Amino acid sequence: MKKTRIVLSFPPSNVEEPITYRLIKDYDLVVNILRASIDPGKQGRMVVELSGEESQIALAFNYLEKLGVSIEPLSQEIQHLEKRCTGCTACVPICPTGALDVDRKSWKVSYDPEKCVVCLSCLDVCIYKAVEVNLA
């Protein structure tokens, strides 16, 4: 089993191709869409996490490339700087996926990169600059 986070950009002509369906059905992959921006007639962009057999992921990449879909590794990553974090919880209601969360006994804020969809909302609300966006 392999897990990979990638950014797919596809030309307007392919926006109507059911890519997610094919990845699941033909390549037996678990597809977790982290972010997507798909408008008819425009270039589409999708941030996905793929899990499955390494060989199947390779075959899926071939399929995507044949369609003209460009594949890039997810190049941004949020970093939670625990030293700067005061545990104030201003980020907690803003984080849409619960990646930034607080333990309501210790009142320490924690960050789970597995849940993060790199929406960058936290950057604007952390007054202590305890979250940074890094190139992965």
CA dist., res. 81 & res. 129, Å (int): 8
Least distance CB 71 / another protein (angstroms): 31
Q: Which is nearer to another protein, 14 or 121 (CB)?
A: 121
Q: Which is nearer to another protein, 67 or 88 (CB)?
A: 88
Where along the sequence are the contacts to another protein (CB under 8 A)?
A: 86-94, 102, 104, 106-108, 124-125, 127-129
- Written as six digits, the tokens of 21 are 């369906």
Residue 15 dihedral angles phi and psi, to the nearest 5°? -60, -30
Least distance CB 96 / another protein (angstroms): 10
Least distance CB 82 / another protein (angstroms): 12
- Longest distance between any two alpha carbons in the chain, whole Å: 52
Q: Which is nearer to another protein, 71 or 92 (CB)?
A: 92
Residue 85 and residue 109 in contact, taking contact as beta carbons nearer than 8 Å = yes
Least distance CB 104 / another protein (angstroms): 7
Q: Which is nearer to another protein, 1 or 106 (CB)?
A: 106
* Burial 41-50, CB ≥16 within 10 A → b, else e: eeebebbbbb
